[in-house]
Structure 1
Amino acid sequence: MARLDKGVKALITSGLLGGVGLFTASNTLYNVEGGHRAIVFNRLVGVKNKVYPEGTHVVIPWLERLIIYDVRARPHLVESTSGSRDLQMVKIGLRVLNVSREIRRLLILRAASFNITLDDVAITGLTFGKEFTHAIEAKQVAAQEAERAKFVVEKAEQDKRSAIIRAQVQFRR
């Protein structure tokens, strides 16, 4: 019986030690995924100054705690309605990420006062007011009608030439 108690105690002890070892090993290594960065909070010294990039790193369990941040650039959609020079209402949509040189220079100065860093700006949508859209459509319809009339005139001229040629052929016979 004493032998059985020693065996059970040894089994329990080895199980506990194995569990603690497995817990420590699994919590010692951590991965920082792409597009993320990590900082480490140490219970003794506070936040460490090092920022950990993508990859696998080591942390001391319980003593250090990992904080992971998403640092991917995410686009921000901006929509605005304003008037053009000819007083037509224009609705414009921008996707802000990498800015062209001229726009970048102007926007960085403005955004810096709000602690915003811009990487890109792209126009994602541009719509005009109803009156302007109808005017453009009317102009396109008028242009198509003019082309159709031009075609009818050219066809009439070809028919005229054809009739003259037929008449000349008939006259010569």
Structure 2
Amino acid sequence: MSEPRAVRPPNPSTVSKGIIGLVIVVLVAVLAIQSFTIVQAGHRGVVLQLGAVQPKVLEEGLHFKIPFIQTVLPIEVRVQKAESSQVSASRDLQTVTTTLAVNYHLDGATINNLYQNVGMEYRARIVDPAIGESLKAVTAQYTAEELISKRSEVSAKVKEVLATKLSLYNVVLDDINITEFKFSEEFNRAIEQKQIAEQQALKSKLDLDRIKIEKEQEITRAQAQAEALRLQKQEVTQELIELRQIEAQLKAIEKWDGKLPNVTGGATPFINVQ
């Protein structure tokens, strides 16, 4: 029978080398991971170095950064939509509630300035207040009726004013759509009554025009008849009268049966009795 082998304890120096090697591998792996960052599509990367915003903005894709020193903050630059309902006053002091939708996006090239000056709450701090201020400034230039009849013009002015305000903070306005104007019940009733009055006035005008045209037609017909009579009188001469008398007597002779009438009116059909 063989004797059992004695188990030797591990060499302390070997264990220490193994632990150190493992730590080095882990550190290298962590450093490798922390040295790269990926900016997703539709975003830009704001570089923070020990908390300070750096001038360089990272585009979409893979980028190198200093581990544990630099942090990349991804910010979306896709088109965003802000819907709001704003209460303002028209030029004639009518209260109007305007519902509008605003499409905008952040300027990717200067998004680091937006983050540094405004932060991530840019909609609550910049976009929404700018929408309200622009809308109130424009609606005050129009009466309530003009806001309805000139909606496209009002929309264009709001867009112009709003674009100027947002550009100060590196926000780009894409488009706006005014979806609805709401007025007070009193104003709506006044508009309805005005429309009814305008329709009645239009009907009265049309009736008056029709009567006027009919009268003019009657006058024209009367003038034409009078002119015809005048022309006929001008054409009647003594020779024409005598000719018509002779023609009448000839027709009477052709129809006479040879007998004198029992009663005459003072003359035979073809003999003039004095």
The alignment's TM-score, normalised by the length of structure 1, stands at 0.55
Please tell me whether residue 36 in structure 1 is matched to residue 74 in structure 2: no
Query: Match of 2:18?
Result: 11
Please state how far the C-alpha of 1:83 moved relative to its aligned partner.
Answer: 6.2
Select the residue among 19, 40, 58 that pairs with 1:52. Answer: 58
Q: Which amino acid aligns with 2:185?
A: K
Change in CA separation of 1:17 and 1:86 when aligned onto 2, cut-off 3 Å: closer
Q: Mapping of 1:1-173 within 5 angstroms?
A: 3-42=10-49, 47-82=53-88, 89-97=95-103, 102-103=156-157, 104-109=159-164, 111=165, 115=169, 117-131=172-186, 132=188
The structure that is strand-richer by fraction is 1
Calculate percent identity across the aligned residue pairs.
28
Alpha-carbon distance in 2 for matches of 1:52, 1:97: 24
The alignment's TM-score, normalised by the length of structure 2, stands at 0.38
**1:6 counterpart SS class:** helix
Alpha-carbon distance in 2 for matches of 1:71, 1:51: 12
Query: Match of 1:150?
Result: none
Change in CA separation of 1:4 and 1:124 when aligned onto 2, cut-off 3 Å: farther
Alpha-carbon distance in 1 for matches of 2:39, 2:167: 32
Note if contact 2:39-2:59 (Cα within 8 Å) is conserved in structure 1: yes
Larger gyration radius, structure 1 or structure 2: 2
Alpha-carbon distance in 2 for matches of 1:65, 1:113: 27
RMSD: 3.8
Point out where structure 1 has 5 or more consecutive residues left out of the alignment. Answer: 140-173
Q: Output one character per residue of 1:38-91: Cα deviation in whole Å (capped at 9) or x when no partner.
A: 132446xx6543210122211121233323333344333332345679987542
**2:55 counterpart SS class:** coil
Point out where structure 2 has 5 or more consecutive residues left out of the alignment. Answer: 1-7, 105-151, 196-274
The structure that is helix-richer by fraction is 2
Alpha-carbon distance in 1 for matches of 2:33, 2:181: 53
